[in-house]
Structure 1
Amino acid sequence: MRPFILHVFFFFFLHGCVLQGAAALSTSSRWIVDDDGSRVKMACVNWAAHLEGVVAEGLSRRPLDSISKKISSLGFNCVRLTWPLFLATNDSLASLTLGPQNIMVILDNHTSKPGWCLQRLRRQRVLWDLYFDPEEWLRGLARMATLFSTTPAVVAMSLRNELRGPRQNAVHAANPNALVILSGLSFSTDLSFLRRRQLDDLPFARRKLVFEFHWYAFSDGQAWARGNPIRSAPPCALAAAAHLDLDWALWALQGSYYIREGTAGVEEVYGLLSSDWCSIRNATFLQRISALQSPFLGPGLPSSPPYQIIFHPASGLCLLGSSRAGSVRLGRCTETEAWSHTAEGTLALRDTSSCLRAEGAGKQARISTQCGGAMHLASQVPGDGGGTVCLDVGADGTTAITNPCECLTGGGGACEPERQWFRIVSSARPIAAKSSAAAGDWGYLKRVEAFDVLSS
């Protein structure tokens, strides 16, 4: 399995954002909000501009306006644009046309000298940049913050990890409207230092401070290769992003590079776009992340009590049920009903007497008012098709069935239960207007417990 790379933003202080005028973002509790106090969820894609070409990748293949329209059409509302310190007045960045496409921009100081940063890591096995000069770094950040202080699309700047005592206010002083993003240690994977030192004394801490956390295939050494895939593969990352309703950024947009590590035209195998910069490299994966591009919770969403959905990370789909037809299938999360995980442990359609019921191994799950054998965390199905069964996905990719549970007794690295892994997620999204007999409307999701859906 190809390693999965995901940049995840955790917004501790901290639907698409429409950039009209100079509407600055700020933070409220754990959310990023606009001037009206409504949540703005960042669903971003990384766009490299820090390599030897010192210009945003792909402009030799497609015009900038065409690429930015493509980003918006794929459901992203944000670009994390990387730049090298040695070119702090990069003209290609100054001519941004992302704003008209309602695309927010995070300027990320990715490295000092233009180039592929992992080349340095492989050679030296250390994070420290040989070309990093603190004074030059501070000047570069201040210049970039000033340069884009009147560009509404630029909503945040990522600092490359460094705090500098009384001089750590360089970006905020130059552009008080921008969010200031601080990353963790050890390849931006470790934020544990916050336990030892809070940053409340920062001038921008109350309304502009955001923390960033990265997750890579190499973050935990060889743990992903050796361990159980359920803890390392994409479903784990997607389940966590849904569970925590994270703002996030995916590596990467670019389908190719002008030049990387001395080779021209290198293809980016993790790119969202193919090497032609027109087609999508993996439409199936894009479907898997589409449910995460809009907020589940947060200020500005309907004030109705949150309900629950049943999210399937391996497909990016949600469990849909109809009390009229009694059928259960996987479909778009925008069409899911409002579910409820009851005190008795059953999974029911909210405000109805109907629940999710297991009929036996290899059989289709059903919606029924007979809830004695309803799906819950763990129990047994009697008869020939009995035993402990888990919710699963049929061969057609949409039918919800029940099968014997995988990996309950171990199985080591060869055990792959991801098809049977579902997340209960809480949501306050509007419920879609779709009839469901006794269930009323169809709904959405959010909140999450870490379990397979089992049955008795």
Structure 2
Amino acid sequence: MVCLLKTSQSLFTSIILISSSPVFAAKRALQPLPLSRNDRWIVDANNTHVPFVGVNWPGAAGTMLPEGLGYQSIANIVQKISETGFNAVRLTFAIEMVDDILDHGGDVSLSGTLTRSLGQTNGTTMLGKIISNNPQFTASTTRLQITDAVALELAAQNIYLHYDNHVSNATWCCSLSDGNSWFGDTYFDTTKWIRGLSYMAAHGKANWPTFSSMGLRNELRLSTTGASTLQPYTWSTWKTYMTEAASAVYAANPDILIFFSGLDSDFNIEPAVGGSTLLDPAFSFNVASYEWSNKFVFEMHEYDESISGSCTIYKTILNSFGADATTKTGSGTNRAPLVISEWGHDETDASDAYQSAYSICLSDFMAEMQFGWMLWVLAGSYYIRSGTQDYDETYGMVSILRPLILELTG
């Protein structure tokens, strides 16, 4: 397989405009931290609008390592991210890593995590590949030290680090039965989740120079596990835990933006945008009442590749689920920045998904509304996904069969 990045003309144009602007010139002088919210905009330390344009780099699955290091060095990967014009990386992590550090005797070594996930033979082979590409590591380098190395390289190449809590139990996300779906689910211990967010917010503050933001939880959704501790699937439950987590993150690191996802795998944020919902009369949400209100950002995911026909109708549907976050007005509403933190499609040569109504309409809408966005996904493969080792990622924008190549097409 050869995975190439393909975008619609409007999105291609937006990348080029960003990468060629004075702010993002060669060895770009990244807009100064900390970032904040000013009404609908993400702004820098000088209150200047920041166009948040990024790519997802997975690191929350079984090994809890950033993907792809067996094929490329961290420096090479980040260089290609930078050359393409992205100014942010959404790096995902699992709460399980923090639980290991705090409860289970300390972080796990590179050798240990690969052996545990891939088996002795394949783990040893992958260990050799990672160290060959990244000779600064050894078998005893820990997972968090590797994350630190990624963070430092992102900073060296002037790219913001957005750190996203993808799951609690390190596994491929997301199903309704994986135990990571909702507050109190099989693996979703809310106390350890908030502790993990706080721990990583503080660690990032001390160690990651371009740490700009944190996502509280990826794709909250209905759970079918029937876990005895599972909380009601309501917006009131969402408010209780998300605001508690945001306050913990803010206490640990008051500089970073805090991204709030919604329900239904983060497709629905409208009740939070509007501040209330008839589906849960007890729910009332006012961002301005919290001390972190100037750090608040909405995030939304959109993968509806089945759409066809009118872009106007498509945009109306997205607005009805909360894409109107940046323009909403009226009493009790929460107008705020919106980042489409996941969107994407099949990138294989045989796919024409980049020419689909979904891709064209969504990219046009994001450009029109000046949303931030983060493409899914950087990696062309996974160390292991759903039990399959070296799993091929058809959404991947980089090839795993030859040196990193990125193709932008109109």
Normalised by the size of structure 2, how large is the TM-score? 0.60
User: Does the residue aligned with 1:180 lie in a helix, a strand or coil?
Assistant: strand
Q: Which structure shows the higher helix fraction? A: 2
Give the structure 2 partner of residue 324 of structure 1. Answer: none
CA-CA distance at 1:186 after TM superposition: 0.9
Q: Structure 2 vs 1, CA of residues 167 and 210 (structure 1 numbering), >3 Å: closer, same or farther?
A: closer
The percent identity for this pair of structures is 32
Instruction: Sort the Cα spacing of 1:38 and 1:19 in 2 relative to 1 into closer, same or farther, 3 A.
Output: same
Structure 2 residue aligned with 1:41: 51
1:185 and 2:263 are equivalent in the alignment: yes
Q: Is the 8 A contact 2:179 2:186 kept in 1?
A: no
Q: How far off is 1:94 after superposition?
A: 2.0
C-alpha displacement of 1:27: 1.6
CA contact (8 A) 1:26 1:32 kept: yes
Q: Which structure has greater strand proportion?
A: 1
Distance change (3 Å), C-alpha of 1:167 and 1:262: closer
1:233 aligned partner: 358
Contact 1:21–1:152 (CA<8 Å) still a contact in 2?
no
Find the residue that maps to 1:121 and give its secondary structure. coil
Aligned counterparts of 1:124 and 1:140: Cα–Cα separation in 2 = 17
Cα-to-partner distance string for 1:172-226 (whole Å, 9 max, x where unaligned): 1101110111111111111112221222211110x211110110137xxxx53xx
Cα distance 1:166–1:48, how it changes in 2: closer, same or farther (>3 A)?
closer
Give unmatched runs, 5+ long, in structure 1: 9-14, 288-314, 316-456
RCO (CA 8 Å, sep 6+): is it higher in 1 or 2? Answer: 2
Q: Note if 1:199 corresponds to 2:277.
A: no
Q: Secondary structure at the match of 2:373?
A: strand
Alignment counterpart, residue 121 of structure 1, candidates 176, 180, 183? 176
Deviation at 1:56, TM superposition (A): 0.1
- 1:112 corresponds in structure 2 to 168
Instruction: In structure 2, list runs of 5 or more residues that go unmatched.
Output: 1-5, 12-17, 102-143, 221-237, 277-284, 315-356
Separation in 2, partners of 1:19, 1:75? 13
In the alignment, what sits opposite 1:442?
none
8 Å contact from structure 1 (residues 83, 108) kept in 2: yes
Counterpart for residue 186 of structure 2: 130
- The residue number in structure 1 matching 2:112 is none
Residues of 2 paired with 1:134 and 1:143: CA distance? 14
Task: Give the 3-state SS of the residue equivalent to 1:102 in structure 2.
Answer: coil
CA-based RMSD? 2.9
4+ runs deviating over 6 angstroms: 122-126
Match of 2:203 among 137, 141, 147: 147
Provide closer, same or farther for how the CA distance between residues 19 and 122 of structure 1 changes in structure 2, counting only shifts above 3 A: farther
- Equivalences, count: 267
Q: How does 1:281-320 map onto structure 2 within 5 Å? A: 283=407, 286-287=408-409, 315=410
The alignment status of 1:280 with 2:367, answered yes or no, reads no
- Given residue 108 of structure 1, which amino acid in structure 2 is its aligned partner? D
Per-residue deviation, residues 275-301 of structure 1 (Å, max 9, x unmatched): 2373336x2xx34xxxxxxxxxxxxxx
